[in-house]
Amino acid sequence: MTAPFDTNSPDLVSWVESANAPETPFPIQNLPYGRFRRDASDPWSIGVAIGDQVLDVGGAGLFHSSEMGQWLTLGRAQRQAQRRAISVALQHGNEDRARFAPWLVPMSAVELGLPCDVRNYSDFFIGIHHAYNTGRLYRPDTPLLPNYRWVPIGYHGRASSIQVSGRDFVRPKGQVKPAGEEAPSMRSSDRLDFELEMGIVIGRGNAQGDAIPIDEAEDHIAGLTLLNDWSARDLQAWEAQPLGPFLAKSFVTTLSPWIVTLEALAPFRKPFIRSPDEPQPLPYLEAQTSRELGAIDATLEVWLQTPQMRAQGQSGECIVRTGLAQAAYWTVAQLVTHHTINGCNLMPGDLLGTGTLSGDGLGQAACLLEITQGGRQPLRLSNGEERLFLHDDDTVTLRGYCERPGHRRIGFGDCTATVRKAKPSRP
**pLDDT tens track for 41-88:** 999 999 999 999 999 999 999 999 999 999 999 999 999 999 999 999
Asked if 241 contacts 149 with a C-beta cutoff of 8 angstroms, the reply is no
Same domain, 104 and 134: no
Q: What are phi and psi of 378, to 5 degrees?
A: -65, 145
Is residue 425 domain-resident? Answer: no
Could you report the per-residue pLDDT of 130-171, keeping only the tens digit for each?
A: 999 999 998 999 999 999 999 999 999 999 999 999 999 999
CB hemisphere CA count around 185 (13 angstroms): 9
The pLDDT of residue 367: 98
Helix H or strand E segment including 304: strand 299-305
Pairing of strands 169-170, 415-420: parallel
51: in domain: yes
The pairing of beta strand 173-176 with beta strand 295-296? unpaired
Residue that is last in its domain, among 112, 130, 147: 112
Please indicate, yes or no, whether residues 263 and 345 belong to a single structural domain of this protein. Answer: yes
Is residue 144 domain-shared with residue 103, that is, in the same domain?
no
Residue 356 lies in a domain: yes
**Together in a domain, 204 and 283:** yes
Count structural domains, the chain: 2
**φ, ψ of residue 373 in degrees (nearest 5):** 55, 50
The pLDDT of residue 407? 96
Torsion sign over Cα 338, 342, 347, 350? negative
Q: What is the pLDDT of residues 206-262, one digit of tens each?
A: 999 999 999 999 999 999 999 999 999 999 999 998 888 899 999 999 999 999 999
Whether residue 4 is predicted with pLDDT greater than 70 in this model: the reply is no
> 1 lies in a domain?
no
CA 2, distance to chain mean position in Å, is 20
Choosing from 84, 112, 140, the residue where a domain stops is 112
Residue 108 sits in the same domain as residue 127:
no
Same domain, 71 and 195: no
State the Cα–Cα distance between residues 156 and 124, nearest whole angstrom: 9
Least-confidence region, from 3-17, 271-285, 351-365, 403-417:
3-17
* DSSP string for residues in 193-260: E--EEEEEEE-S---TT-PPPGGGGGGGEEEEEEEE--EEHHHHHHH-TTT--SHHHHT-EEE-S-BB
Q: Kindly indicate the confidence band of residue 426, based on its pLDDT and cuts at 50, 70 and 90.
A: confident
* Range with the poorest average pLDDT among 112-126, 187-201, 277-291: 277-291
- Please report, as a single letter, which amino acid is at residue 277: D
Contact 72, 203 (CB under 8 A): yes
Quickly state the pLDDT bin for 289 (edges 50, 70, 90). Answer: confident
What CATH number should be reported for the domain holding residue 288? Answer: 3.90.850.10
User: pLDDT tens digit string along 361-410?
Assistant: 989 999 999 999 999 999 999 999 999 999 999 999 999 999 999 999 99
Clarify whether residues 154 and 297 are in a common domain.
Answer: yes
pLDDT the model gives residue 18: 98
On whether both 162 and 298 belong to a single domain, the answer is yes
Quick check: is 34 in a domain?
Answer: yes
Does 270 have pLDDT greater than 60?
yes
Q: Is 119 exposed, middle or buried (0-12, 13-18, 19+ CB in 10 A)?
A: middle
Instruction: State the residue range of the domain holding 36.
Output: 6-112
pLDDT band of residue 180 (cuts 50, 70, 90) is confident
Residue 289: inside a domain: yes
- 206 and 97: one domain? no
Among the options 129, 130, 220, 338, which is catalytic?
Answer: 130
* Residue 179, pLDDT score: 86
Contact 253, 162 (CB under 8 A): yes
Residue 2: its pLDDT value, please?
A: 43
Mean pLDDT, the chain, rounded, equals 95
Q: Tell me the percentage of the chain whose pLDDT exceeds 90.
A: 93
My answer on whether 84 and 189 are in the same domain is no
CB 265 within 8 A of CB 296: yes
Say yes or no: 108 and 248 in one domain. no
The H helix count followed by the E strand count for the chain is: 12, 26
CA dist 101 and 93 (Å) reads 13
Q: How many CA atoms lie within 13 A of 312 on its CB side?
A: 9
Residue 210 domain-assigned (yes or no): yes
Domain contains 426: no
> What stretch of H or E contains 70?
helix 68-72
Domain boundary among 57, 85, 112: 112
Q: Residue 66 sits in a domain of what CATH number? A: 2.30.30.230
Q: Is it the case that residue 1 has pLDDT exceeding 90? A: no
What are the distances in angstroms from CA 332 to CA 113, 336, 388? 24, 7, 32
Assess contact for 199 and 352: CB atoms under 8 A.
yes
130 is catalytic: yes
Q: Are residue 108 and residue 126 in the same domain, yes or no? A: no
